[in-house]
Amino acid sequence: MNAAPYHLALPQERLSCVVFASPHGCGVYPERFVAQSQLDTLTIRSSEDAFVDDLFACVPEFGAPLLRAGAPRAYIDLNRSTDELDPALIEGARRHGHNPRVASGLGVIPRVVANGRAIYRGRLPMAEAQKRIDRYWQPYHGALQHLLDESHARYGEAILIDCHSMPHEAMDGVARTARRRPEIVLGDRFGAAAAGDVVDRIEAAFASAGLTVTRNAPFAGAYVTQAYGRPSRHQHAIQVEIDRALYMDEARIEPNAQFDAFRDLLRGVVAEIAAIRREDVQLAAE
């Protein structure tokens, strides 16, 4: 697999302390990887955040950078730590206590896709896992931290928006007790990854677009929010999960009839989020 380790879209002028990143949006599956798998080309995409990169493509227009993964989630999961290696898949990997993500097959090198369907027929050598980490994980996270450091150095604050999508059925349990079915889930690790006023502004941006928002249930954030959320140091990380039914046919993994309208709606949300702390940023830059 010789694809770029990540893709970075920069604004003509950096006007925002916000950084947008999409770790699961890549839809490019190399032939060798697909040949290794026992899944067909549609099933292997089931855990991908399909079209999220397209939905957020407008980000640079509002003065913020957009970082996108260069490898698909089924190949390497950039929202996992490098030590989340699955002994059931990776030869020589050791258990480090009980990790429910690894136990369920969703480590840094996933063993399964959605609904627990196994990707491989057998196990992978440790050298293969390390090769993927060195080729994709390390450069992506190096670029991400660099962008956040730039924000912090220039504006005294950095806000990471970690962009994801969720299956429509993921909210079935929450929907039974909610007045309106949540369409957006914001994960800030119950306040540990971002300051409350920052999350309030992000929630307000989605709510003002008519979307129903909830926090931390059932997605509070994984490795990225845990690793980069440091509100006491003015570095905030918020995971954004968007209901896939709003813009795609989940069974076919195709845009649905509402895709263009939803992308236009999200454009306004992105503009509002990119403007968070804009007044403070402008003062700092003067």
DSSP 219-238: ----HHHHHH-BGGGTEEEE
pLDDT of residue 178: 66
Q: Give residue for tokens 């931290």.
A: 145
DSSP H helical segments within 48-179, as ranges? 52-55, 100-103, 126-132, 138-155, 172-175
Burial 251-271 (b: 16+ CB within 10 A, else e): eebebeeebeebbebbbebbb
2 pLDDT above the threshold of 60: no
Pick from 52, 76, 56: nearest CA to 132? 76
Average pLDDT over residues 108-130: 95
257 pLDDT above the threshold of 80: yes
232 pLDDT above the threshold of 80: yes
Element (H, E) at 159: strand 158-166
Give the pLDDT band of residue 175 (cuts 50, 70, 90). low
pLDDT of residue 280: 54
Contact assessment for residue 144 and residue 23, using Cβ atoms and an 8 Å cutoff: no
pLDDT of residue 1: 47
pLDDT of residue 281: 45
Average pLDDT over residues 68-87: 97
According to CATH, the superfamily of the domain at 6-28+49-73+133-285 is: Zn-dependent exopeptidases (3.40.630.40)
Average pLDDT over residues 37-46: 94
Pick from 212, 224, 222, 225: nearest CA to 185? 212
pLDDT of residue 95: 80
The one-letter amino acid at 46: S
> Is residue 57 helix, strand or coil?
coil
Task: Quote the CA–CA distance of 196 and 205 in Å, as a whole number.
Answer: 14
pLDDT of residue 172: 83
Computed over every residue of the chain, the mean pLDDT equals 93
Task: Quote the CA–CA distance of 156 and 45 in Å, as a whole number.
Answer: 39
Q: Give residue for tokens 């995971």.
A: 239
Chain Cα centroid distance, residue 157: 21
CA geometry: angle 42, 44, 45, nearest 5 deg? 70
79 pLDDT above the threshold of 80: yes
Element (H, E) at 163: strand 158-166
For 213, other C-beta atoms within 10 Å of its C-beta total 18
Is the peptide bond preceding residue 5 cis, with omega within 30 degrees of 0? no
Structure tokens at 50: 């399909």
285 pLDDT above the threshold of 60: no
Range scoring the smallest mean pLDDT among 28-32, 181-185, 269-273, 275-279: 275-279
pLDDT of residue 279: 58
